[in-house]
């Protein structure tokens, strides 16, 4: 246990508010650490000082202005409604250092002046009580390296140094549309090892405004608002409160870390938790009710490939049972379908799921090849095979648009399988076999990487070669009108029109590109590369280096603070 880790629990330790095992761990650290002993003693002295302070009450006029105002009455009604639905929890006690004791009377008066609304808005007051049947929920006001809340609008989120960082696409009050300064979203005591942003394109008001992350030091699953507020523990991926690095690197640990999956409307979060006996279990957390349910029994093998249906009413995932990959569909509180992933090859595994409405489809692989494409109609427990038995494909791509469709490529041929039409139909000759297939958001076209060529396919225009010398995967803009791709140390942007695709811009970076992410307004492109993190306007006029060193992993995501 490190000092940074222990300091996050000192306040709760002194309040005797920790679980027995965690309290034992913190106490053992304090006994051997002079720094934490001194800090704990200062907390105790601060408590004594606060206990001796004379109470300070507001004037009758101020009290009346605050507590008899229409805004306060509306706030109380809202809090009562939210408290009834909120997850059980307990606020984290945060003691101020001793040197701030002279400011306590002033702070007390300011708190009353601002009213309880500010406390609730920043998540500093608890909702509900601790329940043994639910994971403990802790709500804090934010990590504190900035003034809450962060400015509203699109924000780029990335992981760096074990912390999640957020930067506004446009700095507040900026006259040049320059980006803001990166600000830390997660607290100093947390070490983030997995994270996921809720979907941006959903109709839900909170779409894109929530970020789920896993603290590798505690195993806790957090959800934080994109503006840095209401960081809340909603569950745990680990059976212990001090998971080891070996646990995370194991097969079940890796399955858990890669499992964070938001429903399309951003109202539910599915994840995999490791149980006390080392098994895995799929769980679903609901933001509206604050409750967690288990999606089926636990399994001895890792649970992988979590995928939500388009309406968020069903969840599919796979696991091994007696050495055979099983497809499990969880709907309306029960497993409605459990079947082998491939009816012909028991050793086959699921390569990719694809939902369109209530219809689930998936491809299976064996010995490095795609050997099957299966479709499970809504509310059915029997899957249909679309591909011919014995057929082999090298790569596949799925779109949920227009009833759902797959592109399958092999031996220089490109084929399409529409879920509603049934069967696999040839659509084009590609010469060489594609390495990747990425559909546009609208499902009107697909980008194929064939060797070092970028080729666009659409049902109306067939194949069009867009670029040569490609070294990375194509990334579509949210509208599907633009596509970005790396070519050596350059990022090229192309626009797809009705007549032909045209080059829009060449963004020279001079470094190896690892990941690309479009802003929602398509005016900026985030680039993760070997020298750091860049935000570049798509017209190439402005380029801002957000970090001077490479962020951890190869992941970028946009959120929206509201």
Query: pLDDT per residue over 24-38, tens digit each?
Result: 878 888 778 877 787
Structural domain includes residue 388: yes
pLDDT confidence of residue 408: 96
Query: To the nearest whole number, what is the mean pLDDT of the chain?
Result: 80
pLDDT confidence of residue 445: 92
What is the band of 355 on the pLDDT scale with cuts at 50, 70, 90?
very high
Structural domain includes residue 40: yes
Interval 132-152 mean pLDDT: 45
Structural domain includes residue 443: no
pLDDT tens per residue across span 532-556: 788 888 888 888 888 766 555 567 8
Whether the per-residue pLDDT at 377 is higher than 80: the answer is yes
Whether the per-residue pLDDT at 508 is higher than 90: the answer is no
Characterise 39 by phi-psi region: left (phi > 0), alpha (psi -120 to 50), beta (else).
alpha
Domain boundary among 73, 89, 122: 122
Span of 62-71, 439-448, 491-500 with lowest mean pLDDT = 62-71
Is the four-CA dihedral 34, 39, 42, 43 of positive or negative sign? negative
Whether the per-residue pLDDT at 2 is higher than 90: the answer is no
Is the four-CA dihedral 237, 239, 240, 241 of positive or negative sign? positive
Cα separation, 237 vs 248, whole angstroms? 10
pLDDT confidence of residue 90: 34
Domain that holds residue 81: 3-122
pLDDT confidence of residue 101: 36
Query: Is the pLDDT higher at 105 or at 488?
Result: 488
pLDDT confidence of residue 57: 60
Span of 32-46, 351-365, 507-521 with lowest mean pLDDT = 32-46
What is the band of 561 on the pLDDT scale with cuts at 50, 70, 90?
confident
Can you tell me whether residue 281 is helix, strand or coil?
strand
Structural domain includes residue 244: no
Span of 55-64, 421-430, 540-549 with lowest mean pLDDT = 55-64
Structural domain includes residue 158: no
pLDDT confidence of residue 531: 73
> Is residue 123 a contact partner of residue 214, using CB atoms and an 8 Å limit?
no
Interval 311-339 mean pLDDT: 89
**Domain count of the chain?**
2
Structural domain includes residue 188: no
Whether the per-residue pLDDT at 436 is higher than 50: the answer is yes
Whether the per-residue pLDDT at 366 is higher than 90: the answer is yes
Question: 226: exposed, middle or buried (C-beta count within 10 Å: 0-12, 13-18, 19+)?
Answer: buried
Whether the per-residue pLDDT at 285 is higher than 90: the answer is yes
Whether the per-residue pLDDT at 15 is higher than 80: the answer is no
Domain boundary among 429, 462, 489: 429
pLDDT confidence of residue 219: 96
pLDDT confidence of residue 88: 39
What is the band of 333 on the pLDDT scale with cuts at 50, 70, 90?
confident
Q: 349: number of CA atoms within 13 Å, CB side?
A: 12
pLDDT confidence of residue 77: 66
Span of 59-68, 427-436, 490-499 with lowest mean pLDDT = 59-68
pLDDT confidence of residue 513: 82
Token pair of 438 as six digits: 């990425």
Could you tell me the strand order of the sheet in which 292-294 lies? 261-262, 268-274, 280-286, 292-294
Is the four-CA dihedral 516, 263, 271, 90 of positive or negative sign? positive
% of the chain residues with pLDDT over 90: 43
What is the band of 306 on the pLDDT scale with cuts at 50, 70, 90?
very high
pLDDT tens per residue across span 65-123: 666 666 666 666 665 555 555 443 333 333 444 333 333 333 333 333 344 333 333 33
> How many helical (H) and strand (E) elements, i.e. helices and strands, does the chain have?
9, 37
What is the band of 405 on the pLDDT scale with cuts at 50, 70, 90?
very high
Structural domain includes residue 114: yes
pLDDT confidence of residue 540: 81
pLDDT tens per residue across span 152-188: 889 999 888 889 988 899 887 766 678 888 888 898 8
% of the chain residues with pLDDT over 70: 77
User: Which among 255, 262, 362 has a CA at the least distance from the CA of 308?
Assistant: 262
Whether the per-residue pLDDT at 40 is higher than 50: the answer is yes
pLDDT confidence of residue 411: 87
pLDDT tens per residue across span 195-246: 999 998 665 666 678 999 999 999 999 999 988 888 999 999 999 999 999 9
Query: Is the pLDDT higher at 213 or at 380?
Result: 213
pLDDT confidence of residue 381: 79
Whether the per-residue pLDDT at 127 is higher than 90: the answer is no
Structural domain includes residue 83: yes
Interval 444-470 mean pLDDT: 91
Domain boundary among 429, 458, 484: 429
What is the band of 509 on the pLDDT scale with cuts at 50, 70, 90?
low
Cα separation, 298 vs 235, whole angstroms? 16
């Amino acid at each position: 246990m490190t000092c940074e880790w222990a300091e996050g629990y000192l306040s709760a330790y002194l309040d005797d508010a920790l679980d027995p095992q965690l309290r034992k761990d913190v106490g053992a650290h304090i006994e051997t650490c002079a720094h934490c002993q001194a800090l704990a003693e200062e907390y105790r002295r601060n408590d004594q000082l606060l206990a001796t302070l004379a109470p300070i009450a507001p004037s009758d006029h101020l009290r009346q202005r605050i507590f008899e105002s229409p805004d306060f009455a509306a706030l109380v009604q809202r809090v009562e409604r939210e408290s009834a639905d909120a997850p059980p929890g307990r606020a984290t006690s945060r003691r101020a250092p001793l040197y701030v004791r002279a400011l306590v009377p002033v702070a007390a008066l300011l708190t009353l002046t601002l009213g309880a609304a500010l406390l609730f808005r920043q998540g500093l007051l608890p909702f509900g009580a601790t329940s043994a049947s639910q994971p403990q929920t802790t709500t804090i006001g934010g990590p504190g390296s900035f003034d809450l809340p962060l400015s509203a609008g699109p924000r780029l989120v990335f992981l760096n140094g074990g912390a999640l960082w957020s930067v506004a696409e446009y700095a507040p009050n900026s006259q040049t549309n320059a980006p803001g300064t990166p600000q830390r979203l997660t607290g100093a005591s947390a070490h983030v090892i997995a994270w996921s942003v809720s979907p941006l394109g959903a109709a839900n008001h909170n779409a894109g405004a929530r970020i789920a992350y896993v603290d590798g030091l505690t195993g806790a699953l957090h959800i934080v608002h994109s503006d840095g507020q209401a960081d809340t523990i909603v569950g745990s991926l680990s059976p212990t409160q001090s998971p080891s690095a070996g646990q995370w690197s194991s097969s079940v640990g890796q399955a858990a870390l890669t499992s964070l999956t938001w429903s399309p409307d951003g109202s539910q979060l599915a994840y995999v938790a490791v149980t006390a006996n080392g098994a895995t279990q799929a769980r679903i957390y609901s933001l509206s009710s604050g409750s967690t349910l288990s999606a089926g029994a636990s399994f001895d093998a890792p649970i992988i490939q979590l995928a939500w249906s388009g309406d968020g009413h069903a969840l599919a995932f796979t696991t091994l049972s007696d050495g055979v990959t099983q497809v499990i569909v969880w709907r309306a509180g029960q497993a409605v379908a459990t079947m082998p992933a491939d009816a012909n090859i028991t050793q086959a595994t699921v390569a990719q799921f694809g939902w369109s409405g209530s219809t689930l489809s998936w491809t299976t692989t064996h010995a490095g090849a795609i050997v099957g494409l299966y479709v499970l109609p809504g509310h059915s427990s029997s899957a249909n095979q679309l591909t011919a038995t014995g057929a082999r494909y090298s790569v596949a791509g799925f779109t949920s648009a227009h009833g759902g469709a797959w592109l399958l490529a092999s031996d220089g041929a490109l084929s399409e399988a529409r879920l509603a039409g049934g069967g696999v139909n040839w659509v084009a000759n590609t010469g060489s076999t594609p390495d990747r297939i990425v559909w546009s958001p609208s499902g009107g076209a697909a980008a194929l990487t064939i060797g070092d060529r970028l080729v666009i396919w659409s049902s109306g225009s067939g194949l069009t070669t867009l670029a040569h010398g490609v070294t990375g995967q194509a990334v579509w803009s949210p509208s599907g009108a633009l596509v970005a791709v790396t070519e050596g140390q350059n990022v090229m942007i192309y626009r797809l029109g009705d007549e032909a695709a045209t080059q829009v811009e060449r963004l020279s970076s001079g470094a190896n590109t690892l990941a690309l992410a479009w802003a929602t307004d398509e005016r900026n492109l985030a680039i993760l590369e070997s020298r750091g993190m860049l935000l570049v306007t798509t017209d190439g006029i402005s380029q801002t280096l957000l970090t001077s060193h490479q962020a951890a992993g190869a992941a970028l995501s946009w959120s929206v603070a509201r």
